[in-house]
Structure 1
Amino acid sequence: MCYIEITKDNIEDNHICCALSTKQYEHAVNEKKRWLKARMDEGLVFYRLHERAKVFIEYLPANEAWVPINAPNFMYINCLWVSGRYKNNGHAKRLLDKCIADAKACGMDGIIHIAGKKKLPYLSDKHFFEHMGFTLQDEAAPYFQLMALTWNGLADSPAFKSQVKSDSINEKGITIYYTAQCPFAVGMINDLRELTEKKGVQFQSIQLSSKEEAQKSPAIWTTFSVFFDGRFVTHEIMSINKFEKLLNTLA
C-alpha cells in the first residue's frame, strides 16, 4: 500500500480526505488546508492513502495540539480515520506505526489520543487503541477518554486540563465551540445558527483561532462541541434534520 505525506509544498494539489464528494463544503476544505499549513510549521504531520479515499492520520506534538490536555513530550493524534471498504485492511495499524516511528525519532515518551467510552460518531473506537497497547490515562464527562501508548515508564501521565472536568459553562441557549480542523464544522455552522435562531433559541458560535484559546477551552473536543444552557450536549457534527430533533428535545 502506498501512503503519501501531505506537506505545505503539495497540499494545494492533493485532497485531504475530508468532504471528498461534497461540493458545498469546498470553502471549508480550503480553510482546513490553510489551518493545516499553519500547523505544519508547528510539527503537524499528515499521511494519507494514495487514493481517493478517507484513509489518513494527522498528528503533532501534544504541546502544540489544539486540545485542553497536559502531556509534555508526547505526540498527539488529531485524527486517525479509515472508512468504507478500506476498513480491516491494516491501514490503521500502518498509519499508527508511522506516528510511533516519528514520535520515537523525536525522543518523545509516547503517543496520546482522545477516544470515547463507547462507539460514537467522530470519535475513535477505543478498542483498536487498546489492542495496539494504549491504556486509559484520564477521563472526563460524559464519555471522553484519554488513551496513551507509553514507552518511557518514568514519563508524567497525560491528563485533561482541570477546566474541562465540569463539562459546563456559564452561557444560555446554544453555544458551539469549533475550529477549522474539520470542514464539516466550518461548513455547517451558519446553517445551525439559522435554524436555532428561527426557533427562538439564543445562539453563539466561538471559533477557536489559536492553540492558546483551544488549550484553555472548556470543551474537550475543540473540533466541535455543543452546549445548551451551559451544559455539554454533544461533540457530533449533525445534519440539519438531526440537529433540529436535538433542539426539540432541549428547548
Structure 2
Amino acid sequence: MEMVEMTPEMLDREHICCALGAKSYEEAVHGKKNWLKDRMTEGLVFYRLDERAKVFIEYLPAEAAWVPVDAPNYMMINCLWVSGKYKGQGYGRLLLEHCIEDARNRGMDGIVHVLSGKKLPYLSDRKFFLHHGFRVMDEAGPYYELAVLKWNAAAPDPIFRDTAKSLTVDEPGVVIYYTPQCPFASGILPEWKQAAEERGIPFGAYPFRTREEAQGAPAPWTTFAFFYNGRYISHEMMSRGKFEKYLDGMGKDQ
C-alpha cells in the first residue's frame, strides 16, 4: 500500500484519519484541517497511508510545535497512530523511519515525542519508541515522559519547560485547555459543558490560539488538559458518561 504526504490543497478533499465518518465531529475536523494548513507553512508534515484508515504520523520542527518543550533543532512528533487491522504490519516503523529521514535531511539533531510512562488512551506506546532507540530524557507529573532519539551527541538534551510541570490553574470548577490538533478535543466540549452545568459546576474551556500560548501551557500535553478546582486531572478526552462519573464521584469532593 502507498503512503502519501498531504498538501494544503489535498486537505480540502482528503481525510486526515481522525474521526472518520463521525458527523458530530465534522466541524472539529474542519478546524483541524485549517490548523494543519497554517502549520504546514512552518514545516509540519502529515504523512499517511493512502487508504481510508487511521495510519499516519504528524510532525514538525520543535521550535514551531505547540508543546511546552525546549528542543532546538529537533523534530517533534505530534502524533503517530496505527489502528485496527493495520496494527502489527510494520506501518508504525515505516512512519517513524520517514520522520527520521526527513529530520536528518533537514540537518536536525534528533526527534522528540511526549508520551506516558504507562499505557493510557491517546498517548503513544512507550515500548514502541524505546524499542526504536528513543530514551527518556525528562519527566513531568503525573505520568508524562519526554522521549528523545538523538544522533548528534553534542546537541543539548531536550527538556520540558518549567510551566509544563506546574499542573495547576487559578480557577475553580472544570477548566480545559486545548488545541485544534485533535478533533476529539474540541468535539467533546459541548457535552462536557452541559454535564458540568447540570451539576452547577463552573466550566471554562480555553483554546490555545498561538504556539507561544501553547509553549507556556501549565501541562506537558497541550492537545487536551483537564483541571478540576485548580488541579490537573487528566489528558483524556473522556466520553460524557465517564466525565459525569468523575464529577459525581471524587470530583465533587475536591
Unaligned runs of 5+ in 1: none
| Letter aligned with residue 8 of structure 1 | P
Q: Quick check: 2:166–2:219 contact (8 Å CA) kept in 1?
A: no
TM-score by length of 1: 0.99
Q: What SS is found at the alignment partner of 2:188?
A: helix
1:1-251 equivalences under 5 Å are 1-248=1-248, 249-251=250-252
State the identity as a percent.
Answer: 54
1:6 shift after superposition: 0.8
Q: Quick check: 2:3–2:49 contact (8 Å CA) kept in 1?
A: yes
Q: Quick check: 1:177–1:219 contact (8 Å CA) kept in 2?
A: no
CA–CA separation in structure 1 for the residues paired with 2:232 and 2:80: 24
CA–CA separation in structure 1 for the residues paired with 2:207 and 2:165: 21
CA–CA separation in structure 2 for the residues paired with 1:67 and 1:110: 16
CA–CA separation in structure 2 for the residues paired with 1:77 and 1:93: 14
1:168 shift after superposition: 1.5
**What are the Cα deviations for residues 192-215 of structure 1, in whole angstroms up to 9, with x where unaligned?**
111101111111011101101100
1:137 shift after superposition: 0.7
1:157 shift after superposition: 0.5
CA–CA separation in structure 2 for the residues paired with 1:27 and 1:164: 29
Q: What SS is found at the alignment partner of 2:112?
A: strand
CA–CA separation in structure 1 for the residues paired with 2:2 and 2:143: 35
CA–CA separation in structure 2 for the residues paired with 1:183 and 1:2: 25
| Letter aligned with residue 161 of structure 1 | R
Q: What SS is found at the alignment partner of 1:14?
A: coil
CA–CA separation in structure 2 for the residues paired with 1:50 and 1:122: 22
Q: What SS is found at the alignment partner of 1:176?
A: strand
Unaligned runs of 5+ in 2: none
Q: Quick check: 2:118–2:143 contact (8 Å CA) kept in 1?
A: yes
Note the aligned Cα RMSD (angstroms): 0.7
CA–CA separation in structure 1 for the residues paired with 2:97 and 2:183: 26
**What are the Cα deviations for residues 173-194 of structure 1, in whole angstroms up to 9, with x where unaligned?**
1100001111111111121111
Q: What SS is found at the alignment partner of 1:153?
A: coil
TM-score by length of 2: 0.97
Q: What SS is found at the alignment partner of 2:226?
A: strand
| Letter aligned with residue 54 of structure 2 | K
